[in-house]
């Protein structure tokens, strides 16, 4: 993997960690995400029209957009279900374990094969992601974590990770057929409609207007950050293996830890430091994979 692509993915991961922190600070993260998606659709409508006129995709290409919309919507559904049954501190790192599935899915659908060093990198990052939320290595803590892995919430969290792996490979195929921006905007627009439909059952229009006015700047910032960051990921996918890009994206957890420590005053715990070290080492090895 070229150093330029490594830096692009790492920067995109920093952006991802940043906007996730803004979502975490929101008084209503679920509605905040919905509003940020709608804002993305509004902000980038004119550029979409311009670039679509310049280089339109065909009716046949709609299958890539619809497929991405379905996968992303399923991802949100499984994510919400995993949070329903598990604490976020346990569910989140499990949902980030898409790299458990990526190598196999990428091999089956696009014939990607990792080198031995690539598998070592994936293994180290997976171990780091899976253990990053442990508070200690005590028997009680490990027993609690083990019990969570046997719950219904764990199954939903794994399905969340699976959908991430699937749309990562889907994205890689899609951007070889459709310009990345047109592709991303199109499925974001459809996803925003689906999220609005789902959230309208729980929140009134007045609730949406109230949160939008209250957290306007953060919502717009997340909309810009998510679009910019993921367009960088789509470019990286067009230049490198999906498994490698997916693994390197886990560095967002490292940045999330750093931002959480300085911004939210989160505690530093030994297991988390060890997990971050594994992620950093695994990510560094990717440069040579």
More confident residue, 225 or 264: 225
Per mean pLDDT, which range of 179-193, 224-238, 260-274 is the poorest?
A: 260-274
Q: How confident is the model at residue 189 (pLDDT cuts 50, 70, 90)?
A: very high
Of residues 289 and 19, more confidently modeled:
19
Share of the chain above pLDDT 90, in %: 33
- Contact of 219 with 12, CB cutoff 8 Å: no
By the 8 A CB rule, do 196 and 42 touch?
Answer: no
- Is the pLDDT reported for residue 92 higher than 80? no
- How many domains, in total, are found in the chain? 1
Indicate the burial class of 84 (C-beta count within 10 angstroms; 0-12, 13-18, 19 or more): exposed
Most confident by average pLDDT, 89-98, 121-130, 144-153: 121-130
Q: What is the DSSP string of the chain?
A: --HHHHHHHHHHHHHHHHHHHHHHHSS-HHHHHHHHHHHHHHHTHHHHHHHHHHSPPPGGGHHHHHHHHHHHHHHHHHHHHHHHHS-HHHHHHHHTGGGGTHHHHHHHHH-----HHHHHHHHHHHHHHHHTT-S---HHHHHHHHHHTTSHHHHHHHHHHHHHHHHHHHHHHHTTTS-HHHHHHHHHHHHHHHHHHHHTTTS-HHHHHHHHHHTHHHHHHHHHHHHHHHHHHHHHHHHS-HHHHHHHGGGHHHHHHHHHHHHS-PPP-HHHHHHHHHHHHHHHHHTT-
Q: In angstroms, what is the C-alpha Rg of the chain?
A: 19
Q: What pLDDT shows up at residue 266?
A: 67
Helices 216-239 and 29-43: angle between axes, nearest 10 degrees: 70
Model pLDDT, residue 287: 61
Indicate whether 264 pLDDT > 70: no
The pLDDT value recorded for residue 2 is 77
pLDDT the model gives residue 281: 83
Residue-level pLDDT at 225: 94
pTM of the model: 0.80
Residue with tokens 């459709």: 178
Residue with tokens 């609730």: 207
Token pair in block for residue 6: 């490594």
**Which residue range is the domain that position 82 belongs to?**
3-286
Report the pLDDT value the prediction gives residue 148, as an integer from 0 to 100: 66
Cα angle 125-22-186, degrees, rounded to a multiple of 5: 80
Q: Two tokens at 56? A: 């339109």
Compute the CA torsion angle 47, 48, 52, 53 (nearest 10 deg): -40
- Arithmetic mean of pLDDT over the chain: 85
Residue 26 has pLDDT above 80, yes or no: yes
* pLDDT tens sequence across 127-145: 887 777 777 888 887 887 7
Which residue has 């940020």 as its token pair? 36
Q: By mean pLDDT, which of 2-11, 28-37, 177-186, 256-265 is the weakest?
A: 256-265
Residues 239-256: tens digit of each pLDDT? 888 878 887 887 777 787
């Amino acid at each position: 993997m070229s150093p330029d692509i490594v830096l692009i993915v790492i920067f995109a991961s920093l952006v991802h960690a940043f906007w996730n922190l803004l979502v975490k600070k929101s008084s209503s993260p679920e509605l905040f995400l919905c509003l940020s998606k709608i804002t993305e659709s509004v902000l980038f409508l004119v550029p979409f029209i311009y670039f679509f006129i310049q280089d339109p995709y065909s009716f046949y290409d709609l299958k890539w957009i619809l497929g991405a919309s379905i996968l992303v919507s399923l991802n949100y559904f499984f994510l919400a279900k995993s949070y329903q049954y598990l604490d976020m501190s346990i569910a989140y790192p499990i949902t980030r374990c898409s790299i458990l599935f990526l190598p196999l899915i990428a091999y089956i659908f696009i014939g990607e094969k990792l080198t031995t060093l690539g598998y070592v990198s994936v293994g180290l990052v997976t171990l780091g992601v899976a253990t990053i939320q442990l508070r200690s290595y005590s028997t009680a803590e490990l027993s609690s974590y083990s019990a969570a892995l046997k719950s219904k919430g764990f199954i939903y969290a794994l399905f969340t990770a699976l959908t991430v792996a699937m749309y990562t490979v889907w994205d890689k195929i899609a951007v070889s057929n459709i310009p990345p921006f047109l592709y991303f905007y199109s499925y974001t627009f459809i996803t925003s409609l689906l999220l609005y439909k789902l959230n309208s059952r729980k929140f009134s229009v007045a609730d949406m207007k109230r949160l939008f006015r209250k957290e306007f700047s953060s919502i717009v910032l997340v909309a810009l950050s998510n679009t910019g960051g993921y367009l960088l990921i789509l470019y990286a996918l067009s230049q490198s293996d999906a498994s490698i890009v997916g693994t390197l994206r886990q560095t967002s957890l490292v940045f999330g830890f750093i931002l959480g420590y300085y911004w939210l005053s989160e505690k530093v715990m030994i297991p988390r430091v060890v997990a971050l070290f594994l992620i950093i080492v695994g990510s560094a090895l990717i440069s040579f994979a």
